Structure 1
Amino acid sequence: MLQGIREARAAGEPVALATIVGVTGSAYRREGTRMLVRQDGSYTCMLSGGCLEPEIVEVARQVMQSGQPVRTEYNLDEEVMWGLGIGCGGAVEVYIEPLRDEPVTNRWLQALEQGETAVLATPLEPGLGRLFLSEAASEGALSDPGLEAQVRSTAHQLLTALQPRALTHVLRAGDGRAVPVFFDVNLPPAELLIFGAGHDAIPLSRMAVEFGFKVQVVDMRDKFAIPSRFPGAQVRLLRPERFAQALEVGPRTFVLVMNHNLLIDQSALTFVLQTPAPYIGLLGPRSRFTKIVDKLAKEGTPLTPEQIRRIRSPVGIAIGAESPEEVALSILAEIMALRRGYPAGFLNGLEGRIHEPAGAAR
């Protein structure tokens, strides 16, 4: 999409951006999904399985001609949606706007290009302005100071959440009227830090890269810490005493310890427990974790109850995994569920929305 925007701007061609800003019931994609539409009717990315795109293209052409954004709702019920048998049973609200060359939009596109943590707040009523906010700066303003204060407060909550979602919030303007504001959220890729470059780390690293993680693999053995074994990942040859100096672990860094060596695993756990990592997993049976806990206690550096609770052992989702590839799938499923606030249970028989995590940042 970003490449398409660059090419259109270089050619001086108008484009429109269609964004899902609301979902009721079931739909193929969630809030924040974007689609770029060109004047000739071609488009990049999709908002559905192909059923909505022709209609959105036509509306986008009108938007490019008029220069005015349009907010429209599409019913996905199979009896309503042109008899195509889509059968989602929900509806999506789409905001279609001309992509203008102006400071707030450009700052948002820059954040997308650079993988910056940022929020773009768009009141879905005309004439109120637009606001970009990142962890360090802001751009733009809203014409209603009271509304802007609420937008900034909501954006701050999103910026500090582990896995915030793009959503529309209904806020109150200064005159008391309800104003829907769409908060689009951009996050840098989640990080996966793997301690241990053994054979079973290879499928874990490969799958994580495919899922969009920024992967680091750390090992002290030069026969294992070979970049060619882990395509797409950064491979670090480090001894435990250098972990604190060489590794940066933040609040969105997921950690898996799988050295297959108790002493090195102990060193890795001791290090990451001093960081804000939201996930610390230890490969192996619970008895192995108990040995490490007991050894630390005997050495006079016992783990606190809170530290013990932070370490997930055994690691992964219970799917009967046996092969390294199956274990990798189990681990990444657990990380994805925790990252997005889902219980990781079966969907069979679930009533209501399947994309509704418990306690998710809204």
Structure 2
Amino acid sequence: MHSFYTVLKDAIGGDDQKVLALIVHVEGSAYLKEGSCMLFAPDGKRTGMISAGCLEEDLAYNAEDLLASGCSKRTLVYSLESEDDSGWGRGSGCSGTLFIFLQVIDRMLQSELKTLYRSLCSGHSICWTIHFTPHFDYVGHNFQETEKQGSNHVGIKDWTTDTEHLLIYQQLLTPQRRMILFGGGKDAEPLCRLASECGFSVIVCDNKEDRLQSVHFPNADQLFLGSPESWMKRIHLKEDDLVVIMTHQFQTDKEIIDQLKILGLHLKYIGILGSRKRTEKLLQKHHFENVHSPIGLKIGAKGPEQIAVSIMAEIISILHS
């Protein structure tokens, strides 16, 4: 999903037409599955990932041809069966067939994607549906808000009536999970970057204006300056949020803990930087579920970058356990 959000943010930015490539169907094995997408811009910039590198150049050629020809949509079929360098598989070990739908992002589609992005940021789930003929010719698409959270099925389904037979691609798009990073020190920078690259929406909070700058946190979605009480009023914490406390200020950390206790949420993850003894003193009589301190997996991490890896490894392990 994180690749989709990265692609979506680039797709709605700027005025130049770009081409969206989306895997809509896979037969057999492939490096990436249905829902994987990639964006091709006229200046050569590419966002996202479709394969292990064996298809990108041909996709870029077809994207360029779409923009030049005035044709807005095309479905390409790639067989990865060949194990030598003469085939699309290029010895990658994949043996499947990929159906990749290319679509020019014109002004109308860009407007739809902006609405989609706003809906996702507001916490709504969206079902993305694309209709194809049995030969994978494009028929139409729509984005529909849905309350369904459980099923993450992505791919093609048959739909047959007395008058027509269509292939229906469906993908459930859910809001990004948020990481709330309390602390804007230099050691928070690699964590913010890595969390964003792993697909999380990152909010950084700090009380020092000189540190809370986009130049230090270019990957952050939001920066909140102020006190713990003001942060909580603006963030609107949810139970599936991930909280990381690393302000390096005991009193500030304690105020954050007090605010969390007032909210009374069963947060998915609370990671606290510092020793176990410091954290026990910090929590005092407060009891929280899912507190992790010292923060991060015990992998012998040293330095901000490695500690960021250990924290993300712990979070990913918890989310998938």
TM-score range, shorter chain: 0.5 to 0.7
Gaps of 5+ in 1: 9-14, 135-154, 297-301, 344-362
Give the C-alpha shift of residue 327 in structure 1. 0.8
Going from structure 1 to structure 2, the CA distance change for 1:87 and 1:313 (only over 3 Å counts) comes to same
Going from structure 1 to structure 2, the CA distance change for 1:326 and 1:22 (only over 3 Å counts) comes to same
Aligned-partner Cα distance in 1 for 2:40–2:204 = 39
Does the Cα contact within 8 Å between 1:16 and 1:96 map onto a contact in 2?
Answer: no
Q: Which residue of 2 aligns with 1:230?
A: 216
Corresponding letter in the other structure for 1:123: H
- Does 1:51 find its partner at 2:54? yes
Aligned-partner Cα distance in 1 for 2:133–2:23 = 16
Q: Which residue of 2 aligns with 1:281?
A: 271
Q: Which residue of 2 aligns with 1:357?
A: none
Going from structure 1 to structure 2, the CA distance change for 1:252 and 1:98 (only over 3 Å counts) comes to same
Going from structure 1 to structure 2, the CA distance change for 1:78 and 1:267 (only over 3 Å counts) comes to same
Per mean C-alpha deviation after superposition, the further-off stretch among 81-90 and 55-64 is: 55-64
Going from structure 1 to structure 2, the CA distance change for 1:128 and 1:49 (only over 3 Å counts) comes to closer
Going from structure 1 to structure 2, the CA distance change for 1:26 and 1:107 (only over 3 Å counts) comes to same
Any idea what the Cα deviations from partners look like across 1:166-202, whole Å, max 9, x if unmatched?
A: 7215366567x99753234556665432223345334
Partner secondary structure for residue 109 of structure 1: helix
Corresponding letter in the other structure for 1:280: I
Aligned-partner Cα distance in 2 for 1:65–1:197 = 47
Aligned-partner Cα distance in 1 for 2:253–2:129 = 44
Of all paired residues, the percent bearing the same amino acid is 26
Partner secondary structure for residue 89 of structure 1: coil
Going from structure 1 to structure 2, the CA distance change for 1:290 and 1:114 (only over 3 Å counts) comes to same
Any idea what the Cα deviations from partners look like across 1:233-269, whole Å, max 9, x if unmatched?
A: 4554433343433433246642101234555334323
Going from structure 1 to structure 2, the CA distance change for 1:277 and 1:171 (only over 3 Å counts) comes to farther
Max radius of gyration: which structure? 1
Going from structure 1 to structure 2, the CA distance change for 1:119 and 1:82 (only over 3 Å counts) comes to same
Q: Which residue of 2 aligns with 1:335?
A: 315
- Does 1:268 find its partner at 2:256? yes
Going from structure 1 to structure 2, the CA distance change for 1:195 and 1:34 (only over 3 Å counts) comes to closer
Does the Cα contact within 8 Å between 2:81 and 2:89 map onto a contact in 1?
Answer: no
Going from structure 1 to structure 2, the CA distance change for 1:24 and 1:226 (only over 3 Å counts) comes to same
Does the Cα contact within 8 Å between 1:112 and 1:186 map onto a contact in 2?
Answer: no
- Does 1:194 find its partner at 2:181? yes
Gaps of 5+ in 2: 1-9
Does the Cα contact within 8 Å between 2:206 and 2:212 map onto a contact in 1?
Answer: no
After the TM superposition, which residues 154-169 of structure 1 pair with which residues of structure 2 at under 5 Å, given as runs?
156-157=147-148, 160=149, 167-168=154-155
Q: Which residue of 2 aligns with 1:132?
A: 143
Partner secondary structure for residue 335 of structure 1: helix
Corresponding letter in the other structure for 1:279: Y
- Does 1:20 find its partner at 2:23? yes
| Aligned residue among 2, 7, 11 for 1:2 | 11
Aligned-partner Cα distance in 1 for 2:14–2:152 = 24
After the TM superposition, which residues 284-303 of structure 1 pair with which residues of structure 2 at under 5 Å, given as runs?
284-293=274-283, 295-296=284-285, 302-303=286-287
- Does 1:312 find its partner at 2:292? yes
| Aligned residue among 175, 199, 203 for 2:190 | 203
Going from structure 1 to structure 2, the CA distance change for 1:121 and 1:338 (only over 3 Å counts) comes to farther
Per mean C-alpha deviation after superposition, the further-off stretch among 277-286 and 211-220 is: 211-220
Going from structure 1 to structure 2, the CA distance change for 1:229 and 1:292 (only over 3 Å counts) comes to same
Any idea what the Cα deviations from partners look like across 1:81-136, whole Å, max 9, x if unmatched?
A: 62874223242422335548696x455433466584643212344687432123xx
| Aligned residue among 218, 243, 246 for 1:258 | 246
Does the Cα contact within 8 Å between 1:216 and 1:236 map onto a contact in 2?
Answer: yes
CA RMSD of aligned residues (A): 4.5
TM-score, normalised relative to structure 2: 0.67
Corresponding letter in the other structure for 2:91: I
Does the Cα contact within 8 Å between 1:197 and 1:224 map onto a contact in 2?
Answer: no
Give the C-alpha shift of residue 313 in structure 1. 3.0
Going from structure 1 to structure 2, the CA distance change for 1:172 and 1:316 (only over 3 Å counts) comes to farther
Partner secondary structure for residue 119 of structure 1: strand
Aligned-partner Cα distance in 2 for 1:237–1:57 = 42
Partner secondary structure for residue 232 of structure 2: helix
Does the Cα contact within 8 Å between 1:281 and 1:315 map onto a contact in 2?
Answer: yes
